[in-house]
Structure 1
């Protein structure tokens, strides 16, 4: 792997980490588009790589910081975590059967709709 690829990956990771720690997002908003744009990854490869990043405790320092400030509802987090595992498995099974171009369009529509809802919502 070329050094410039390592630097770009490092910058992508840093930006995704900052956005994730600040806003609670990262993979879907930063990593997937960046991997597709800068490295020409397919939508499936970018999503799979983003999911793989979640395997180690990448959010532990952000979670500790939020916890120290009393900004985590651990009961809600635990319930969501349990069901999230099942949902992630179902989503992955579904997603790998969709053609790459269609998956990219679904992803884009999802981001736009969520953005509109957040912008114009209460």
Structure 2
């Protein structure tokens, strides 16, 4: 019982972060489960996905309520993400756990460096409209889905900075579209990890309960923060996650 209360509390914290950044909470749940509970990389990713899937679905609905997500933009992202996440997750379950963890740290460092560099680049004012149409959205969905399936983060963490920088959209719109991309990819990735017995359901289910209780607060906070503040927090968040995992190597 005490363990469940602890897991629900952790899930509530992760759910708030997931709603704030539009990523479902998996990005910080994975290093947290590895560092605090000693789970190997695949088991941490699979267990985190139990929380991430319902969090992503609820966050997607909340974002859509506050800032309507265009189906013509979301559909190519979602379809391509689903297909390539499946391939990525099949690949992931067969990789050595230590090599996977090193790859995940490198993945976070690259993302953090890119996000920090973007803060010093001159760019046009963000807009709710995208600069590029569906063929490029399909490419983004394919790449993000592959990374999401491989690392268990749904691909949203890849898609969000690309949408804000290359596609020129606002941070909030980017996070909403990224959640549309992440919803199918996280679902198929969880099914693949579960099929290969790399999920701790006893831990994952109370994490999911806690996440569902709090993720709406994160979404509300995301819409209240200034654009630059939200981007700065996202960069810091990536760096913290990379450091947490690097300490475990």
For Structure 1 versus Structure 2, the TM-score category normalised by the shorter chain is 0.7 to 0.9
Give 1:17-32 correspondences, 5 Å limit.
17-25=15-23, 26-27=25-26, 29-32=27-30
1:78 match: 75
2:60 match: 63
Give 1:83-102 correspondences, 5 Å limit.
83-102=80-99
Are 1:42 and 1:100, in contact at CA under 8 Å, matched by a contact in 2?
yes
RMSD of aligned alpha carbons: 1.9
2:101 paired residue among 101, 104, 116: 104
Are 2:22 and 2:59, in contact at CA under 8 Å, matched by a contact in 1?
no
1:36 match: 34
In structure 2, the residue corresponding to 1:58 is in which secondary structure?
helix
1:9 match: 7
1:68 CA displacement = 2.2
**CA-to-aligned-CA distance 1:22-81 (integer Å, 9 cap, x gap):** 111221x211011111111000101111233344x4334322322222252332222222
The count of residues paired between Structure 1 and Structure 2 equals: 118
Point out where structure 1 has 5 or more consecutive residues left out of the alignment: none
Deviates more, 1:59-68 or 1:88-97: 59-68
Point out where structure 2 has 5 or more consecutive residues left out of the alignment: 122-249
Are 1:36 and 1:43, in contact at CA under 8 Å, matched by a contact in 2?
yes
TM-score between the two structures when normalised by the length of structure 2: 0.43
TM-score between the two structures when normalised by the length of structure 1: 0.83
Q: Distance in 1 between matches of 2:96 and 2:85?
A: 19
Are 1:32 and 1:50, in contact at CA under 8 Å, matched by a contact in 2?
yes
Deviates more, 1:69-78 or 1:15-24: 69-78
1:85 CA displacement = 1.7
2:136 match: none
2:45 paired residue among 39, 44, 47: 47
2:163 match: none
Which structure has more relative contact order (CA 8 Å, sep 6+)? It is: 2
